[in-house]
Amino acid sequence: MHKYLVLFLTTALLLGCSLDESDEPGRYSDSTLVNGINEPTSTFSIDADGASYSNARRFLNDGIMPPPDALRTEELINYFDYDYPQPEGPHPIGLNGEVSRCPWAPAHKLIRIGIKGQTIEEEDIPPSNLVFLIDVSGSMGSVRKLPLLQEAFKLLAQELTAEDRVAIVTYAGQAGVALPSTAGDQTETIINAIEGLTSGGSTAGADGINTAYEIALENYIEEGNNRVILATDGDFNVGPSSTEELVQLIEEKREQGVFLTVLGFGTGNLNDQLMEQIANNGNGTYEYIDNQQQAEKVLVEELGKLYTVA
């Protein structure tokens, strides 16, 4: 956990400035005003997803207004670094906050609460057992999808060390292993496997996830960072692919110590809501990669987000 979540509250009212889930699955609606006297508590997620910001940026760069359901307020905030101090004491989470007058309702107070996860020092970073789970179906053929994905994973491959391990599982009509679990310092071998990927066929997403988790468990590192990194446009359309089944599988593997990070690519059939949900259930984050700069931000500059601290 490497980024932050900021929560804005007033002392008398919880203002409806964020998005809440509506009764219609996959849709969001404006939250309503809540009387703080009658409902004096609020809960919120502390996952550090940042996908919504880069996805909205992609829409705007294309001259299109982002659809409301693509805007998750906390992810627009999480995208940025607030330079909070490191947590002190035995706990890996630090709290920061301040109180000010509410600009649009001066009789009320505005409280900012910031949460900071501990940054792992380089010498303390645990070895990683990673499985790149890469969608190579026909829908990934455009320049914003598989080619950008390959450049992104090549950046990550150059950050790995001899103590790390990485495998590559692909899925289209069926799942396949493009690279068995390999020492992280075999950079040329890993990059060659990434460059050799091509797209075509339908999307057996569930089969790919099963294969990826099997390899992750076979190469499990005790006290290490055991993680599947799913990269896709989110189009699961072959096999047992209901959201409930996928979430159940991901939760089972989470309890066995293998977590899930999700990277979204491309336009058109991006299943944004599903990808955000399965990342949350896999103790991981969800990011959207819209260009080379964003790939470097997520997979190099913010590499610490691949490590769970709490």
List C-alpha distances in Å: 5 to 49, 82, 299. Answer: 9, 10, 20
Read off the pTM.
Answer: 0.81
Mean pLDDT of 138-151: 89
Kindly report, residue by residue over 23-32, the tens digit of the pLDDT: 444 555 666 7
The answer to whether the CB of 19 falls within 8 A of the CB of 12 is: no
Q: Where are the alpha helices (DSSP H) in 48-143?
A: 51-61, 73-78
pLDDT of residue 222: 95
pLDDT of residue 252: 95
Alpha-carbon distance 189 to 193, whole Å? 6
The answer to whether the CB of 203 falls within 8 A of the CB of 172 is: yes
